[in-house]
Structure 1
Amino acid sequence: MNREILKNLYLLRAMGYKFIDESTISSSKNLTPKSIDELNYEIKNCNLCALKNSSKHSICGFGDTKSKIMFIAFEPTSSDDNSGEFLSGVLGSKLCEMSKISLNLNRGEFYFSSILRCKSSQNFSQNEAILRCKPYIFEEIKIINASVIVALGEEVFINLGGQINGSFESVRGSFFKFKNATLMPTFSLLSVVKNPSLEAKFLADLEKLKGLI
């Protein structure tokens, strides 16, 4: 089967389609979201896993949809879940501070999203949520079409298809080809906030992107 059709079918499954016929397969491209508004509608109305019941919000991407740089975290924070918007708490403030220092980008001048769209629960397997949510982030990456994608943490890098032979440090700050974009893994925001000694390395990683955006 054509890889593009197969990818679309996975997305349709994530959107809740259970039964599809031959006509659905042939028209699958027309059923998948074509704009960020269509995608956000699907995310807001997603009920495919139990995280929807344990969280307050299903959170959509935030920022400039025409930005050349896209940051991807693993999941919303508790502050994000309370507000219904990314970058709401301490971790969001840290990223805004660091992006201004390193890239001269203010809040709203970059694009931010995450692998999971609901705050995870200790009583729920993340594997199921990842399976349901990943089609959304890949479709979002396609729609935003940023030239640079920053994977905030090892989990994000791996879920975007990155491979690590050894420690995360061996790939952190390196550039990888990801479709039409450059993918760079770096520390998660939680790691930076918990370990201020990592701030200099985090800033240095972001500064490498100046010539790309």
Structure 2
Amino acid sequence: MTKLVKNRVLKHLNYLKSFGYEYHEHLDFFSTNIKNVKLPNNISDLGVSVNHCYLCELSKCRKNVLFGYGNINSDLMFIGDEPSNSEDELGLHYVGKSGELLIKMIENVLNVTKEDVYFTTLVKCKSLNGLNNTIVDTCHDYLLKQIELIKPKLIVALGEKTYSYLLKNSDNFSQIRGKELVFNTIPLITTYSPTFLLRNPSFKKDAYYDMLKIKNYMESLN
């Protein structure tokens, strides 16, 4: 069954449900049994699982699943909040203005290519009306498994949404960015997201200094 056919079936079933039709006993997709399903211990197989995920509402509106991109053996892992419109449209990472800016941040400051690092997002599908914790929670086990398999020595959290969700912290983002924090025993540094910087270019200087700290940290590992 193609993706187009699946989307049409889902749309038709939702249409019938609006008239009171029931097809089966209610399933709690967020139950412990579902979330504790054993995930693959191979990054490629995990990607296949994510590509066939229909556990949340984003599966009904996405055009493409954006699992991750880059060097699966990298010591450096970037995490954003969600794919951009351009990424969802094309099914590719690092496209659109925000993607181009992120490439510049990586290549011009860290002096590595986007293929040298690993990049992913909190959720793997583009939302229509913004993220909420329920949606992010559904995708969280995928992200944790990605981190487990990639084994980064440093995580860079891009943007306040990503930082707040990962660290469950509501501290002033402008004060905490650029500092070395910890997520699940892994060092983490947070900086402004490319999307934010496109809207607020005056903060690019701060982001530049954050990237220098990231570069210094990575060089200290060698």
Structure 1 length as normaliser, TM-score?
A: 0.82
**Aligned in 2, Cα 1:208/1:125: closer, same or farther, shift over 3 Å?**
closer
Secondary structure of 1:37's partner? helix
Counterpart for residue 125 of structure 2: 118
Deviation at 1:127, TM superposition (A): 2.9
Asked if the contact 1:73–1:156 (Cα under 8 Å) also holds between the matched residues in 2, the reply is yes
Corresponding residue to 1:46 among 50, 53, 72? 53
Q: How does 1:13-28 map to 2 (within 5 A)?
A: 13-14=34-35
Q: How far apart, CA to CA, are the structure 1 residues paired with 2:131 and 2:203? A: 30
- Percent identity among equivalent residues? 29
Q: How far apart, CA to CA, are the structure 2 residues paired with 1:125 and 1:188? A: 15
Gaps of 5+ in 2: 1-30
Counterpart for residue 186 of structure 2: 181
Asked if the contact 1:14–1:133 (Cα under 8 Å) also holds between the matched residues in 2, the reply is no
Say whether 1:32 aligns with 2:53: no
Counterpart for residue 71 of structure 1: 78
Largest Rg, 1 or 2 = 2
Deviation at 1:210, TM superposition (A): 1.9
Q: How far apart, CA to CA, are the structure 2 residues paired with 1:160 and 1:126? A: 13
Q: How far apart, CA to CA, are the structure 2 residues paired with 1:14 and 1:74? A: 20
Figure out how many residues of one structure are paired with residues of the other and give that number.
Answer: 188
Counterpart for residue 138 of structure 2: 132
The superposition leaves residues 140-198 of structure 1 with CA deviations (integer Å, 9 ceiling, x where unpaired) of 11111111101111111121124233x21121111012234210111111111111111
Q: Kindly provide the amino acid, as one letter, of the partner of residue 209 in structure 1.
A: I
Say whether 1:152 aligns with 2:173: no
Superposition misfits of 4+ residues, deviation over 6 angstroms: none
The superposition leaves residues 33-82 of structure 1 with CA deviations (integer Å, 9 ceiling, x where unpaired) of 20111210111000001211111011110011111111100000001101
**Aligned in 2, Cα 1:125/1:147: closer, same or farther, shift over 3 Å?**
closer
**Aligned in 2, Cα 1:186/1:138: closer, same or farther, shift over 3 Å?**
same
Secondary structure of 1:209's partner? helix
**Aligned in 2, Cα 1:89/1:207: closer, same or farther, shift over 3 Å?**
same
Q: How far apart, CA to CA, are the structure 2 residues paired with 1:142 and 1:136? A: 10
What do you get for the CA RMSD once the two structures are aligned? Answer: 1.9
Counterpart for residue 206 of structure 1: 211
Q: Kindly provide the amino acid, as one letter, of the partner of residue 179 in structure 2.
A: S
Secondary structure of 1:163's partner? coil
Corresponding residue to 2:62 among 51, 55, 60? 55
Counterpart for residue 196 of structure 1: 201
Structure 2 length as normaliser, TM-score?
A: 0.79
Secondary structure of 1:46's partner? coil
Counterpart for residue 85 of structure 1: 92
